[in-house]
Amino acid sequence: MIPSENGLEGYRRHVVFSEEASGLSARAELLDDMAPRSAALLWELAGTGIGFSGLHAMWTGPEISLPIDGGVVLPKQDLRGFPIENATSYPQEGDIALVCAPRGTWRDGPPFDLIDVGMFYAPGGRMLMPMGWIMGNVAARIIPTDLQAAAAACRAIRRSGACTVTLVRGE
């Protein structure tokens, strides 16, 4: 952590997740030292200005998932050979985990190059999918002062269904 002038004294660069109906507004510090490529990818996604379709995950527990078609959103990004870094199968409360899987990674998987951004908002997260256990790269972590409100907003999203989550670069 380093000092900053943006009201986040002690935090490095960050991205902000927001969703209007639920009131979600969560700042997440990028973990550049532990997951440099994944943090850079999350930063790149936050710079697109796109609202991403989000839904409460079905298999992984307390997670809002943003399954993104990488070939459409970041067409120059090559997901083949994307590194495993700061990876886990058991994301913790506040973790932002990325799963990058080029088309064809899994039988019956998505018909596109997948970048899945998972926002885990409570204990009990697990990366168990219909095709088995996978790992996600923990690229960022919701800052502690935002976590309680983020969890409440994520529970509201769970009750209301699909939504659009905006991801922007923090200032």
On whether residue 105 sits in a domain, the answer given is yes
Please tell me the predicted confidence (pLDDT) of residue 2: 41
On whether residue 9 sits in a domain, the answer given is no
On whether residue 112 sits in a domain, the answer given is yes
Predicted TM-score (pTM) of the model is 0.91
Digit-coded pLDDT (tens) for 43-76: 999 999 899 999 999 889 999 999 999 999 999 8
On whether residue 157 sits in a domain, the answer given is yes
On whether residue 2 sits in a domain, the answer given is no
On whether residue 4 sits in a domain, the answer given is no
On whether residue 6 sits in a domain, the answer given is no
* CATH number where 72 lies: 2.40.100.20
DSSP the chain: ----SSS-TT--SEEEEEETTTTEEEEEEE-TTT-HHHHHHHHHHHTS-PEEEEEE-SSSSSEEEEEEEHHHHSTT---TTPPP-SEESSPPTTEEEEEEE-TTSSTT--SS-EEEEEEE-SS----EETTEE--EEEEEEE-HHHHHHHHHHHHHHHHH--EEEEEEE--
List the domain range (segments joined by +) for residue 151: 14-169
Digit-coded pLDDT (tens) for 140-153: 999 999 999 999 99
Digit-coded pLDDT (tens) for 99-158: 999 888 888 888 888 999 999 999 999 999 888 899 999 999 999 999 999 999 999 999
Total of domains in the chain: 1
On whether residue 5 sits in a domain, the answer given is no
